[in-house]
Amino acid sequence: MTAGVGRVALAALALAVAQAGCSRATLQAVTGGGADAAGADAVSSAGCASAPAPAGDTTRTVQVGTVSRTYVLHLPAAYDGKSAAPLVLDFHGIGGTGATELANSPYPPELDPTGVVMAFPDGLKGPAGTAWNVGPCCVAGVDDVAFARAVVADVGQAACIDANRVYAVGVLTGGGMAYYLACQAADLFAAAAPAAFDMLAENVDACVPARAISVISFRGTADPRVPYAGGASSLVPGMPITFLGAVGSFQAWAQIDHCAGAASSADAKGCAHYSGCQDGAEVILCTKQGGTDDPGDPTVAWPVLTRHAL
């Protein structure tokens, strides 16, 4: 139960959200994921809005504390607004925007035909350009976890989404944000697929997710900015960090998810797996030999992500 929210108050909140035509995600996001099953089911039983939002891309604004933040909501033509759809938040790399990520990400071409709803948040400006606060890097004084929660809640008011199937993906610092949400918001995100980034030595010990969460990571062995072997980095001026490396991050997640045994050998896609993880979670590292800052392969990532729900 969420601190300070009793069962009666939660039921009232659920009813208010349901009457507004919102999805379960609104209740779950605004309460920090602590809503109990009765409250969540009250929202779910109300169904989705009778007048679904039209397909297309719109820029929406959410308030996070005193800061107005923006994101691009992407509703594909296959989204009908009647059945609860999965939601994927896709985070751009350093210097990017939600719009540029929408234009360049490999995920929309793969997911659009199935009606998956996507959101592309806009990072705030840091020393090296627009990015995300993932601990010691790369934008200071910004609560991007609260922003991600606000985006999920706002999408839940605009579209019919399934709060049990919300996922985080991203490239470069956006991949770092996907990792960070897996650590800090596993109550809301069902799984994550970071690419071209690693866990950081400076904050890996603080990664204590609320539950075991599946993570499939994509890394290239020739990435010039995020070395595959890890090490110290001054990618962002004034914010030095230490990458654990691709394999180090893989091993760290195996520990976080309490996986048993050793990792498998890489398969034909270059993906190695840990099995026997707590609560059926999967920990996967997909390596592209000679690859650089590759955004990942949604044909590999999506089947893994969609296997998992809250």
* pLDDT for the residue numbered 9: 37
For 305, the 3-state DSSP assignment is helix
pLDDT band at residue 54 using 50, 70 and 90 as cut-offs: confident
Q: Is the pLDDT of residue 133 over 50?
A: yes
Please give the residue that has the higher pLDDT: either 41 or 286. Answer: 286
Question: Which pLDDT tens digit goes with each residue over 137-163?
Answer: 999 999 999 999 999 999 999 999 999
Domains along the sequence of the chain with CATH: 1-47 (no CATH), 48-305 (3.40.50.1820)
Question: Which pLDDT tens digit goes with each residue over 219-249?
Answer: 999 999 999 999 999 989 999 999 999 999 9
Handedness of CA 89, 63, 95, 209 (dihedral sign): negative
- Average pLDDT over the chain reads 88
pLDDT band at residue 48 using 50, 70 and 90 as cut-offs: confident
Please give the residue that has the higher pLDDT: either 81 or 1. Answer: 81
Backbone angles phi, psi at 71, to 5 degrees: -155, 160
Peptide bond into 271 cis (omega under 30): no
- What percentage of the chain carries pLDDT values higher than 70? 84
pTM above 0.85, yes or no: yes
pLDDT band at residue 13 using 50, 70 and 90 as cut-offs: very low
* pLDDT for the residue numbered 32: 55
Sequence-distant (≥ 6) Cβ neighbours of residue 191 within 8 angstroms: 167, 168, 182, 213, 214, 215, 216, 282, 304, 305, 308
* pLDDT for the residue numbered 275: 87
